[in-house]
């Protein structure tokens, strides 16, 4: 037995990795190992001999086990020490710079508009991008076959009934129907819209609109719309901004207007941003058409309202001096970084 232990002691010195150690453990202590083999001899011994033999055998086994465990610990420590030495961090080296992201400016403009209108008691609502013809056109006073549909040619998903909405105005109808002609409404709805357009610097097959609707039994007039627009324009483009309405035509408002702001760049003198006119158009608006009110469950004899729609990219382009709408939808960081700068002339 002592010899066996000695041979183990000699062999263990040459072990260089855990695998070898495991093999050695099996050789001595495994079921068929040499120390285990010694215990089979017990059967041949007398009771007295068994006692001393058994005690000795246990002692040898314990010694062998601790030899192997000590070796294992020593090897694991060596591995860890080596790893620690290799992976040590030099804290005097300069840190890697982490570039911070910033919110998409389109989102920033939309949030600014949302906050402003919420402060005036408006709700921010959502509408579906996959819309029914009924909401996108019919309830907005644009029946099937109406010429106005041509200007909003869009993507139809199922026959001519289900489509990608060409405007957020359909949400007006949805909200009015949901309130069942009973309650006053103040809502804005930002969202994606789609049109079959060629993509260029100012057009995209997909763009964002911010819709607004106010309905009440009070005497709501174009003056209220003007005041609301003026407040929004000053908030977005600065206190020295003035506004004007130009007559226009939309099927779901009567009268209808184009909403212009004074050019923030030249202050109305004329420059290349406002195409020398001193004014920039930012959206359409008007008094909600009685047909629309009636179709959507609001008695037009009692209720009145105004509606408006801004092009969100247009607002962001003007505010941040972006001259190509496509810049919002590509991922070129060099372009994105320029967004924080206003164009000088
Ligand atoms: N939906 C119109 C468009 O896409 C914009 C618009 C005009 C919205 C007048 C309105 C409105 O709510 O009253 O061209």
**Residue whose structure tokens are 């003198």:** 269
Q: How far apart are the C-alpha atoms of 53 and 63, rounded to whole Å?
A: 15
pLDDT value, residue 343: 38
Ligand 1 pocket test: pick from 284, 312, 313 the residue with the most ligand atoms within 8 Å of its Cβ: 284
Q: Is 167 in the pocket of ligand 1 (CB under 6 A)?
A: yes
**CA 114, CA 270: separation in Å to the nearest integer?**
30
CB 200 within 8 A of CB 167: no
Q: Atom 8 of ligand 1 has which residue's CA nearest to it?
A: 309
**Centre of ligand 1 from the C-alpha of residue 43, in Å:** 102
Check if 303 has its Cβ closer than 6 Å to any atom of ligand 1: no
What are the distances in angstroms from CA 17 to CA 33, 62, 64, 81? 20, 22, 18, 15
Closest-lying ligand 1 atom to the alpha carbon of residue 169 = 1
DSSP secondary structure, 82-93, as one string: HHHHHT---TTS
Q: In a mutational test of the pocket of ligand 1, which residue from 285, 310, 311 has the highest number of ligand atoms less than 8 Å from its CB?
A: 285
The SS3 of residue 212 is strand
Residue 218 Cα distances to 67, 112, 119, angstroms: 95, 28, 20
Cα of 285 to ligand 1 centre, how many Å?
6
The Cα 215–Cα 182 span in angstroms is 10
This prediction has a pTM of: 0.71
The C-alpha atoms of residue 79 and residue 84 are separated, in whole angstroms, by: 9
pLDDT in tens, the chain (345 residues): 889 999 999 999 999 999 999 999 999 999 888 888 888 888 888 989 999 999 999 999 999 999 999 999 999 999 999 999 898 888 898 888 887 777 788 899 999 999 999 999 999 999 999 999 999 999 999 999 999 898 888 899 988 899 999 999 999 999 999 999 999 999 999 999 999 888 888 888 999 999 999 999 988 999 999 999 999 999 999 999 999 999 999 999 999 999 999 998 888 899 888 889 999 999 999 999 999 999 999 999 999 999 999 999 999 988 888 888 888 887 777 776 666 544 333
Indicate whether residue 307 lines ligand 1 (CB < 6 A): yes
Q: How far apart are CA 287 and CA 29, in angstroms?
A: 94
193 CB within 6 A, ligand 1: no
33 contacts 26 by C-beta, under 8 angstroms: yes
**Coil, helix or strand for 143?**
coil
**204 CB within 6 A, ligand 1:** no
Interatomic CA distance for residues 76 and 79, integer angstroms: 5
Give the model's pLDDT for residue 345: 33
String of DSSP letters for 227-262: HHHHHHHHHHH-TT--EEEEEEEETTEEEEEEEEEE
Based on DSSP, count helices (H) and strands (E) in the chain, helices before strands.
11, 10
Is the Cβ atom of 176 under 6 angstroms away from ligand 1? no
Parallel, antiparallel, or unpaired for β 130-132 and 162-164?
A: antiparallel
* Ligand 1 pocket, mutate which of 137, 141, 142, 169 (most atoms under 8 A from CB): 169
Intra-chain end-to-end CA distance of the chain, in Å: 98
């Amino acid at each position: 037995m002592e010899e066996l232990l000695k041979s183990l002691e000699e062999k263990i010195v040459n072990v260089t990795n855990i695998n070898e150690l495991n093999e050695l453990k099996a050789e001595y202590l495994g079921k068929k190992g040499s120390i285990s083999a010694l215990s089979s001899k017990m059967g041949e011994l007398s009771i007295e001999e068994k006692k001393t033999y058994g005690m000795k055998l246990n002692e040898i086994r314990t010694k062998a086990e601790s030899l192997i465990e000590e070796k294992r610990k020593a090897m694991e420590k060596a591995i860890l020490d080596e790893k620690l030495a290799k992976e040590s961090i030099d804290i005097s080296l300069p840190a890697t710079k982490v570039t911070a992201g910033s919110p998409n400016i389109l989102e920033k403009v939309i949030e600014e508009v949302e906050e402003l209108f919420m402060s005036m008691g408006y709700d921010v609502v959502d509408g579906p991008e996959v819309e029914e013809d009924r909401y996108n056109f019919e309830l907005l006073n644009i029946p099937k076959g109406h010429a106005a549909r041509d200007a909003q040619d869009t993507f139809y998903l199922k026959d001519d009934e289900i489509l990608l909405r060409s405007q957020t105005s359909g949400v007006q109808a949805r909200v009015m129907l949901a309130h069942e002609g009973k309650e006053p409404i103040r809502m804005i709805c930002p969202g994606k819209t789609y049109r079959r357009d060629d993509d260029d610097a100012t057009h995209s097959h997909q763009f964002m609109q911010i819709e607004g609707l106010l309905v009440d039994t009070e005497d709501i007039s174009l003056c209220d719309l003007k005041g609301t627009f003026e407040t929004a324009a000053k908030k977005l483009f600065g206190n020295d901004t003035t506004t004007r309405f130009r007559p226009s035509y939309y099927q779901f408002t009567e009268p209808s207007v184009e909403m212009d702001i004074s050019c923030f760049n030249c202050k109305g003198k004329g420059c290349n941003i406002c195409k020398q006119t001193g004014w920039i158009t930012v959206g359409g608006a008007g008094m909600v058409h009685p047909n629309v009110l009636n179709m959507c469950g609001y008695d037009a004899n009692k209720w009145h309202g105004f509606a408006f729609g801004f092009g969100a990219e247009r607002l962001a382009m003007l505010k941040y001096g972006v001259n190509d709408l496509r810049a919002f939808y590509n991922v070129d960081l060099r372009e994105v970084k320029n967004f924080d700068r206003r164009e000088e002339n």
